[in-house]
Amino acid sequence: MESRRPPLSYFMAYSLQEENKSTSENITDRDYFRQLYPQAVKRYIRVIVDVLNRMDIKDSFIYDEYPDKVRVERLTEIILRLIPLENNMSRESQRNLVRVLLIDEIVERRKR
């Protein structure tokens, strides 16, 4: 005898639809707000996305349950070598900004 799942109630189906909608809205919101970033930050994000695209494989550390802080710091340093120092920014400020943007991008990739 084959077991069948009972049909979803209207409220359960509706909540699934809303959940999918909110995910697509998040992507759209994120893209919109990234357009508002200063040009320098947009350049950083392009470099970060490019580096992470190369690392985006199944067993990458970015998908570990708890990514290693040292590896994130190393990746930050690699990215910093690819980005010239801004005139109005110290290297430490630039490092902090890159690390925050990197972590944000990793979190977004883990959500997908």
Tens-place pLDDT, residues 58-86: 788 888 888 889 999 999 999 999 988 87
pTM (two decimals) = 0.70
Task: Return the domain boundaries, the chain.
Answer: 10-111
Tens-place pLDDT, residues 3-51: 566 665 555 444 445 555 555 666 678 888 888 999 889 999 999 999 9
Q: Write the secondary structure of the chain as one string of H (helix), E (strand) and C (coil).
A: CCCCCCCCCHHHHHHHHHHHHHHHHHHHHHHHHHHCCCHHHHHHHHHHHHHHHHHCCCCCHHHCCCCCHHHHHHHHHHHHHHCCCCCCCCHHHHHHHHHHHHHHHHHHHHHC
